[in-house]
Amino acid sequence: MSELLTKGTESKGQVSDRLADAIRDDILSGRLGPGERLGEVSLAERFEVSRGPVRAALSLLSECGIVTIVPNSGARVRLISREDARALYEMRVALEGEAAGLAASRADQASAQTFRMLLEQHAEDIASHPEGAYLQGSGDKDFHMVTAQMAGNPIILRYLTRELYPQLALLRMKHRNVVGRGAKALREHKRIAAAISDGDPEVARLLMRRHILNSWAALEAQLSETEEDAE
């Protein structure tokens, strides 16, 4: 159970932020599934707070795209449609492609070392389940996050981390990672890392865009299979 948020020890804004973090963790871990109702009363009771901070927290999560609030109906964990998923990947192509180019323009010896250590760990993980998905950690264990941080553009990083990545994580929670994509994705990551480390923005940008389009093609095929199963 999440840590209780007690009244009187924090400001309203702090309580709302911490509550939003707790609910976000529940959503992105799968404890709260897509479409599940987020009742203000039950959340207020669970965290021992008033409904005001709960309402503010749900509003924050709505802004980052993982909660849907319907007037006179309440809040639910967002269900991401195929059209929304396509739009997310179109934005991802643009932002991450540019991030890779910027990372290459700022690359140094430390960049190559960072990628080498990261991808060696990923290779070991994939070797243990070669037919599985590319399961990455968060933060400095995630190839795309590391690349975005190397880009040195705070606006791109903010859009990716606060809006795009949480929505992509929610999308993956419903459809899971695409099976069999792991080894292919790792090879693509290695080529992108090499282009960034070599200081070649044009190639890094092209390879990152191609990589994300490949990822979308694999996910779209899985979406189609899921829809067929539901018919």
Q: How does DSSP classify residue 153?
A: -
C-alpha neighbours within 13 Å on the C-beta side of residue 14: 7
The pLDDT value given to residue 105: 98
pLDDT attached to residue 208:
98
The span from the CA of 54 to the CA of 75, in Å, is 11
98 and 121 fall within a common domain = yes
Same structural domain for residues 88 and 62?
A: no
For residue 5, the model assigns a pLDDT of 47
Is 103 part of a structural domain of the chain? yes
pLDDT at site 128: 76
Q: 29: domain range?
A: 12-77
pLDDT digits (tens, 9 = 90+) for 84-131: 999 999 999 999 999 999 999 999 999 999 999 999 998 888 887 655
Pick from 56, 77, 98: which residue ends a domain?
77
* Parts of the chain with a pLDDT under 50: 1-7, 228-231
Structure tokens at 6: 């007690």
Alpha helices for 72-200 (secondary structure H):
82-105, 109-128, 143-151, 154-159, 165-175, 182-197
What global pTM score does this model have?
A: 0.82
Is the residue at 1 inside a domain?
no
Q: Which two three-digit tokens encode residue 55?
A: 């309402």
Q: Is 230 exposed, middle or buried (0-12, 13-18, 19+ CB in 10 A)?
A: exposed
87 lies in the same domain as 30 = no
CATH (domain of 24): 1.10.10.10
Paired strand residues for 68: 76
